[in-house]
Structure 1
Amino acid sequence: MHPINTSASQQVRQGFAPEDAMQIHQLLILGYQNGGGSVTDYPTWLRTLHTDPEFDPSLCFSAWDESGLVGVMQCWTSAFIKDLVVHPRARRQGIALALLNHGFHTFGLRGEGWVDLKVMENNFDARRLYEKAGMRYVQRSAMTEFDLA
């Protein structure tokens, strides 16, 4: 676990700590409760995460403040951002951008030239964030019934 200070009241940590897994899972559920993704029950989520061949604990970034976990970004070894969620009470404070920047830096150190993600076209806040972070639109994919389930 590598702490990185982002401000006096926030800290970004790099690395997946088993003792934080339940809080991360709960934040993912909260972040996706209105759509845009889904999260399985805790035991399934944890098992699936740890057995995925693209899982690397060092590619999990979490943001903390004096009240606890406020943001998480889980990336895959293919330089893909799987999840990026910020707690509603901590939005619009630069947490997502800090997580993205730490991820970009980490992938740069690994020699990656690009970082990818998928975002719903109607998620305008997220799209603005990614553009602010320097990301750009590459491909538009049609959704299937399977994707929506």
Structure 2
Amino acid sequence: MRRDLTDVVPQAIWPAGVQLTQYHSALAAAVHQLMELGHRQGGGRVPALDAWQQRFETDPEYDPSLCFIALDAEGVVAVCQCWTSAYINNLVVHPRAQRQGLGRALLLQAFKTFQQRREGFVDLKVLEDNQRAQRLYESVGMRVVRREAVPV
């Protein structure tokens, strides 16, 4: 799916008690744990913490300012991990905080950031049967641009 960044991007509205920060290695274990939870529910898997952290932090497209972390009183509650190529690699919201607007706020934050970097659009991939995620992405202006077969 793709979001055209020449269009107006609304301001993100954050739920009460949530603050935004960016990734740093002290948050690695909590971010990894949330990624594991998200992938268990949505399919796929995440490598063990040490391998995940090493791959993540050394990826050529890694920029900590493009990994948006939402924190609440209990810790890391949502993550939007983006690459420098204007690509959203992961978006995960903890079940305790779903349906509060966190996913939307993180996406809008990412869009604004990429607009400031003078990108023309932002892309992501989503499984065709993940209708809930697709509705969220469409609600923030993303559109399907290409379908790909999922390797079995």
What TM-score do the two structures reach when normalised by structure 2? 0.88
- Rounded to whole Å, the distance in 2 between the matches of 1:5 and 1:22 is 27
**Residue 73 (structure 2) aligns with:** 66
Superposition CA RMSD, Å: 1.4
> Could you tell me whether the CA contact under 8 Å between 1:5 and 1:11 is conserved in 2?
no
> Could you tell me whether the CA contact under 8 Å between 1:62 and 1:73 is conserved in 2?
yes
**Residue 6 (structure 1) aligns with:** 14
The higher relative CO (CA closer than 8 Å, separation ≥ 6) is in: 2
For residues 15-40 of structure 1, the C-alpha deviation after alignment (integer angstroms, 9 at most, x for no partner) is 21111110000000001113433200
Using the TM superposition, give the Cα deviation of residue 121 of structure 1 relative to its aligned residue in structure 2, in angstroms: 0.2
Using the TM superposition, give the Cα deviation of residue 66 of structure 1 relative to its aligned residue in structure 2, in angstroms: 1.5
Unaligned runs of 5+ in 2: 1-11
**Residue 101 (structure 1) aligns with:** 108
> Could you tell me whether the CA contact under 8 Å between 1:25 and 1:42 is conserved in 2?
yes
Among 142, 149, 152, the alignment partner of 1:142 is: 149
SS of structure 2 residue aligned to 1:115: strand
Unaligned runs of 5+ in 1: none
**Residue 41 (structure 2) aligns with:** 34
**Residue 23 (structure 1) aligns with:** 30
SS of structure 2 residue aligned to 1:63: strand
Using the TM superposition, give the Cα deviation of residue 63 of structure 1 relative to its aligned residue in structure 2, in angstroms: 0.8
Moved beyond 6 Å, runs of 4+? none
> Could you tell me whether the CA contact under 8 Å between 1:82 and 1:117 is conserved in 2?
yes
Percent identical among aligned pairs is 51
For residues 109-135 of structure 1, the C-alpha deviation after alignment (integer angstroms, 9 at most, x for no partner) is 000110000000000110000000111
